[in-house]
Structure 1
Amino acid sequence: MNDKIKINLQIADSNYPLTIERKDEAMVREAAKQVNNRLNAYRERYKNLGSEKIIAMVAYQFSYEKLQLLERNDTGPYTAKMEELTELLENCFKEE
């Protein structure tokens, strides 16, 4: 059974037909809503800028926020510490 659906999203005054997984529909629509909300906020605040610059600012803002989240969720330091502690424990058990 194919669980894909076709939807139309309107982003920045343009329509985008998409085929997506049914389970992803709410998230896809929410993402488009967030983009449109930010576009409208920038349009209101920077009335003298063209659409292309405003879209670039929105893309930058989302990208920056994603990088912040990735950095905050970086488990590298914890993984390194766990490996160090595991090695210490293994050495202790070898000595016994």
Structure 2
Amino acid sequence: MNDKIKINLKMAGASYPLTINREDEEMVREAAKQVDIRLNAYREHYLNVSLERIIAMVAYQFALENLRLKDCNDTEPYTAKIKELTEVLETYFKEQ
């Protein structure tokens, strides 16, 4: 069975033929929906701004959110602290 499917994704009034993994279809369509929601919100708010500039603003907003989420999901400081505490505990129990 082929895990790839072909879909026509509609965003910003255009159609994009894509081949995607079957299990990603819902997420891909939801992403396109989110783009359209933000695009339409900017269009309503900035009536005299070109579509090109509005698309740039939408891309910027998604990129900024992505970077913020990346910072929130950075577990390195916690991993380092857990390692440090584990070493302290191991040292303590070896001395007992």
**Whole-Å separation in 1 of the counterparts to 2:60 and 2:54:** 10
TM-score by length of 1: 0.93
The RMSD of aligned alpha carbons is: 1.0
The CA deviation at 1:52 is 0.9
The CA deviation at 1:25 is 0.7
1:94 corresponding residue in structure 2 = 94
1:72 corresponding residue in structure 2 = 72
* Structure 2, gaps ≥5 residues long: none
**Whole-Å separation in 2 of the counterparts to 1:7 and 1:31:** 14
Pairing 1:11–2:14 present: no
Aligned residues: 96
**Whole-Å separation in 2 of the counterparts to 1:59 and 1:29:** 17
1:30 corresponding residue in structure 2 = 30
SS in 2 for 1:48: coil
The CA deviation at 1:94 is 2.6
Identical aligned residues as a percent: 69
Q: Which amino acid aligns with 1:4?
A: K
The CA deviation at 1:93 is 2.7
TM-score by length of 2: 0.93
The CA deviation at 1:16 is 0.7
* Structure 1, gaps ≥5 residues long: none
Q: Tell me whether 27-36 or 65-74 shows the greater mean CA deviation.
A: 65-74
Which 4+ residue blocks in structure 1 deviate beyond 3 angstroms? Answer: none
SS in 2 for 1:49: coil
The CA deviation at 1:79 is 0.7
